[in-house]
Structure 1
């Protein structure tokens, strides 16, 4: 039965995970800023489509809200892969996590132009996610079958 040894380098993985949490928090604050500027009251998650098509501030709020939500949707998968792959490959997992975060930052900034099609510039985040997936598979293989 294989054991799990957490090395000192796993600290890089945890630092990457903490940076991810900080990134999500900053996006949340951004949503609040855009909400206030657009005058969209709580509990409404989005401005109405007709209003957003007429008012650029409401459109930007919708973009900020959507990009935050989109990040919240993918981060549980990313964090799981990061934390598992980091057991065997702490430095490579951290590097892949940084690529993922940089890609998500470019994705988000493109979305926040008010033209969601510009988000695709950050599509390289998928490379980081794919690397984490591969390292996770290798880590699990070693833990379960070795």
Structure 2
């Protein structure tokens, strides 16, 4: 079986690129949050620099940092999965990648505004899309190897 990259695959590349831009955007949001609170660039949650913040500011800073960290942890998996699954199922993986992007956006905004309880709204999109992408990657690979 040979893999031919057609015009359908371009949407997978666009989706993977938007995932990276989304991660960079929330990194920028976290950095601006540090500047707004007059914190050093290398400040982490619970550090001495955050001791001067009010409880509300510290909680807000913590939420921004946690959202950024969640993006950093999952973007490589989502990007590689959308690109790999797209080799076999370009439309399915592009749609699943778009659902991931929407879910990550909902997750981020609702977590920042509502706290940990707000995460669940984005997870409804994130988890099924990641499972779909991983499943399509494995299934396509096993099929290409004639194991299925």
Is this a same-fold pair by TM over 0.5?
Answer: yes
Normalising by structure 2, we get a TM-score of: 0.88
* Residue in structure 2 matched with residue 68 of structure 1 by the alignment: 68
Query: What per-residue deviation string (whole Å, max 9, x for no partner) do you get for residues 58-115 of structure 1?
Result: 3212111111111110111111211110001111100000111111111111111152
What CA distance in whole angstroms lies between the structure 2 residues aligned with 1:46 and 1:18? Answer: 29
* Residue in structure 1 matched with residue 23 of structure 2 by the alignment: 24
Deviates more, 1:113-122 or 1:90-99: 113-122
What CA distance in whole angstroms lies between the structure 2 residues aligned with 1:62 and 1:145? Answer: 48
* Residue in structure 1 matched with residue 32 of structure 2 by the alignment: 33
Ranges of 4+ aligned residues in structure 1 off by more than 4 Å: 47-50
* Residue in structure 1 matched with residue 44 of structure 2 by the alignment: 45
RMSD of equivalent CA atoms: 2.0
What CA distance in whole angstroms lies between the structure 1 residues aligned with 2:117 and 2:130? Answer: 21
* Residue in structure 2 matched with residue 115 of structure 1 by the alignment: 115
Deviation at 1:126, TM superposition (A): 0.6
Give 5+ residue unaligned stretches, structure 1: none
* Secondary structure at the counterpart of residue 7 of structure 2: coil
Work out the number of aligned pairs and report it.
145
Normalising by structure 1, we get a TM-score of: 0.89
